[in-house]
Amino acid sequence: MNPDMTDQILIPAWVDGTLQPVEKLDVHLRGLKHKAVSIFVINEGRILIQQRALHKYHTPGQWANTCCTHPHWEEPTLDCAQRRLNEELGITGLTLQSRGQIEYRAQVGPDMIEHELVDVFVAEASENLEIQPNPEEVNATRWVSPAELRHELADAPDNFTPWLHIYMADHAKTILGSK
């Protein structure tokens, strides 16, 4: 079974002020603050973005940064980021650099809220990066400059995930540097 489609995956979430393992779907339905990971793969200033698979239980078909996920209970965030890059996009061997943590809260469906404490990672990729999207996770990928992405976010906001809007509006300098 696709690990992203099941609510049986236990992720770290805060319940009554204590970090506990909670089923992923339950976390989103209750809007609990939880740990997450976001990755931005960059090549010559362009960002690899992905369109989420059309059957995802929230934000299906919307464009997001390269990869986003939740660490499993007690999984180190760097290990999680490397695992998920491979699972979603078939990408291995990149050196991920931490860009710190970002906290946000956003509505991601009629009854779902992402309240995430996100460890953000960035990796510089070579021109010949091999990308093999997993169709269970990713509908499409493309490279886009930060300027093009900002323009598209403004022109067609519903085509993009809420967290990508937040990252680009409030945290682009931290994530991407001066771009």
- Give the CATH number, domain containing residue 59: 3.90.79.10
67 is catalytic: no
Which is the catalytic residue, given 67, 68, 87, 88? 68
Query: Does 55 map to a domain?
Result: yes
110 part of a folded domain: yes
**pLDDT, tens digit (0-9, with 9 covering 90-100), for 33-47:** 999 999 999 999 999
**Does 85 map to a domain?**
yes
Percent of the chain scoring above 70 in pLDDT: 94
Question: Cα–Cα distance between 147 and 179 in angstroms, integer?
Answer: 8
What pTM did the predictor assign? Answer: 0.92
When the pLDDT of each residue in the chain is averaged and rounded to a whole number, the result is: 93
- 170, 120 in Cβ contact below 8 A? no
Q: Residue 7's pLDDT is what? A: 45
2 has a pLDDT exceeding 90: no
How far apart are the C-alpha atoms of 88 and 90, rounded to whole Å? 6
Q: Does the annotation count 116 as an active-site position?
A: yes
Residue 121 tokens, joined: 């990672």
Please indicate, yes or no, if residue 14 is contained in any of the structural domains.
no
What is the extent of the structural domain holding 59?
25-174
Phi, psi torsion values for 130, nearest 5 degrees = -85, 125
Q: How many domains does the chain have?
A: 1
User: Does residue 16 form part of some domain?
Assistant: no
Q: Is residue 20 part of a domain?
A: no
The residue from 87, 114, 116, 137 that is catalytic is 116
